[in-house]
Homo-oligomer: A and B are copies of this chain.
Amino acid sequence: MIAPRFYSMTFSQSEEKIVIKVGIVGGTGYTGVELLRLLLGHPEVSLRVITSRGEAGTAVADLFPNLRGHLDLKFTNPDIDALADCDVVFFATPHGVAQSQVPELLARGVRVIDLSADFRIRDIAIWEKWYGQPHGCPEQVAEAVYGLPEINREAIRTARLIACPGCYPTSVELGFLPLLEKGLVDLNDLIASAASGASGAGRQAKVDNLLTEISDSFKAYGVAGHRHLPEIEQALGDIAGKPVQLTFVPHLLPIVRGIHSTLFATLLDTSVDLQALYEERFASEPFVDVMPPGSLPQTRSVRGSNMCRISVFRPQGRDKVVVLVAEDNLVKGASGQGIQNMNIMFGLPESTGLNSPALLP
C-alpha cells in the first residue's frame, strides 16, 4: 500500500509554504460551490480538479457567477488519475457515489473527506435500511473517522477517510455534547426541534423546493423518520457511552442558509451550572461560541461562517434544559467542517481559511 500523502506533506513543511493539492468530486451542488468559495480564500490550497458528469466542459464560473474572476477551472468528467494526483479529495456528492470511488483513491495514497452520508453509520444494516440501497463499500466504513473535530480531533489527524457529519447532526451533537459527556440528562428523553434553510435540500429541480412553494411558509418534514436520526443517535450514543433515544423533528425554513436546533432534555441533577459547563467544555474550540446567558443565536450571525453559536437555558428553573444552536448548514454543517478536517489532517492551524466573520446583515 502506498503511504498516505500526509507523509509527504510533513516533509514539505520544511519549505516555505505547504500547498495541498485538492480535488472535488461533484462540484455542481451547494456544498460544492461552498467548498470552492472557501478554498479560494485558503492560503495553503491548490485546487486541481473538480468533476461533474453533467457539466463536464462548463466553466465553474459559468454555473456559479459569484466565482467569475476568481476561478478558471472547468468541470471535468471524473478521472481517477487526475484525482489520484491530489493530496486530498472531497466528495460533495449525493450518497452512494463516494462508496464506489473511495477504495481506489485510498489505495493510491489520497486522503478522502466525504461530505455525503456514505461512511457515517457504522452499522451497515442500519445504513442500508435508511438509505434504501445496498452499501457499496462496507469494508471501508470501519476505518472512516467521523469528522466532528470537537470529539474526534486526534483520530482526524491521521485519518485517511473522513465521514463528515451531516448538517443537522453537527448542530444537535454539539448542542447535547456537554450534557451527555457528563451524564447529566435522561438519555431516553432527548428532543431536537430543528429548522434548516432550503439549501439543505440541495440544488435539485423539484417542485417542492420552488420559491413559490416554500417561501413565506414554514412546515415540519421527515417527522416519521429522517435519515439524520440514526446518525445522530449513533454519535450521541458514542458521546454518552450508552444508547440514547432522540425525537427529531426537522423543519423547512424559507431562507437559503442556516440551521437552528432547539434541544430539550430532562436534567437528572438541577444543581449543575449549565453556563459554566458549556463555556468550559468549548473554551478551546475555535468554532463553537458559547454565548452569554440569555443570548439568542440567530442563523444570520453565522451566515457564511464556520462558527456554531450556542446558548443554554433552564426555563422557569424547572428540570428541562433548552439548548439553542445556530450554524450555517453549508459551512460548519458541510463544507467548512470538511476544510476544518483537512486543516487538522494536514497539520495546519485549524482555522486556516475559515476566519471570515459571518455576513450580516
Per-residue CB contact flags for chain A residues 230-273 toward chain B (1 = under 8 Å, else 0) read 00000000000000010111010111111010101010000000
Using Cβ atoms and an 8 Å threshold, which residues of chain B touch A65?
A: 291, 295, 297-298, 301, 309, 360
A218 partner residues in chain B, CB cutoff 8 A: 195, 253, 255, 258, 260, 298-299, 326
- Measured between beta carbons, the chain B residues less than 8 angstroms from A189 are 189, 266
Bound-state CA distance A361–B257 (Å) is 8
Q: What is the interface size of chain A, counting residues whose CB is below 8 A from a CB of the partner?
A: 90
Which residues of the other chain, B, contact A209 by a CB distance below 8 angstroms?
210-212
Chain B, residue nearest A286 (CB)? B69
A70 proximal to B (CB < 8 A): yes
The answer to whether A215 and B260 touch (CB under 8 A), given A30-B361, A203-B210, is: no
Check B255–A260 contact: CB distance below 8 A.
Answer: no
Asked if A291 and B251 sit within 8 Å, CB to CB, the answer is no
Residue of B with least CB distance to A201: B212
Interface residue ranges of A268-300 to B (CB < 8 Å):
289, 291, 294-300
Residue of B nearest to A192 (CB): B193
Q: When the two chains form their complex, are residues A217 and B357 in contact, meaning their CB atoms are under 8 A apart?
A: no
A206 at the interface (CB under 8 A from B): yes
Question: Does residue A17 face the partner (Cβ distance < 8 Å to B)?
Answer: no
B64 contacts A360, CB within 8 Å?
yes
Q: Judge whether B256 and A211 touch: CB under 8 Å.
A: yes
Known contacts A198-B212, A221-B296, A206 near B205 by CB under 8 Å: yes
A74 at interface, CB cutoff 8 A = no
Select one of B299, B300, B307, B315 contacting A69, CB under 8 A.
B307
Beta-carbon contact of B37 and A216 below 8 Å: no
A105 to B219, CA, bound (A): 42
CB within 8 Å for A223 and B296 given contacts A212-B203, A256-B211, A318-B245: yes
Q: Taking the complex as formed, is A106 at the interface, i.e. its CB lies under 8 A from any CB of chain B?
A: no
Are B66 and A358 within 8 A (Cβ)? yes
With A41-B356, A68-B301, A313-B223: A361-B254 Cβ-Cβ less than 8 Å: no
User: Which residues does chain B contribute within 8 Å of A294, judged by CB atoms?
Assistant: 224
Judge if A220 is at the interface, Cβ distance under 8 Å.
Answer: yes
Q: Is the CB of A262 within 8 A of B291?
A: no
- CB pair A262–B193 under 8 Å, yes or no, is yes
User: Quick check: is A134 within 8 A (CB to CB) of the other chain?
Assistant: no
Interface residues of A in 312-361 (CB under 8 A from B): 313, 315-316, 318, 320, 322, 324, 326, 330, 355-361
Complex: A199 Cα to B213 Cα, angstroms: 9
5 contacts between A and B (CB under 8 A): A41-B357, A70-B355, A198-B210, A216-B258, A219-B297
| The 4 residue pairs across chains A and B that have the minimum distance between CB atoms | A217-B300, A193-B193, A66-B358, A66-B360
* Residue positions of A touching B, CB distance < 8 A: 30, 33, 37, 40-41, 64-70, 189, 191, 193, 195, 197-199, 201, 203-207, 209-221, 223-225, 229, 245, 247-249, 251, 253-258, 260, 262, 264, 266, 289, 291, 294-305, 307, 309, 311, 313, 315-316, 318, 320, 322, 324, 326, 330, 355-361
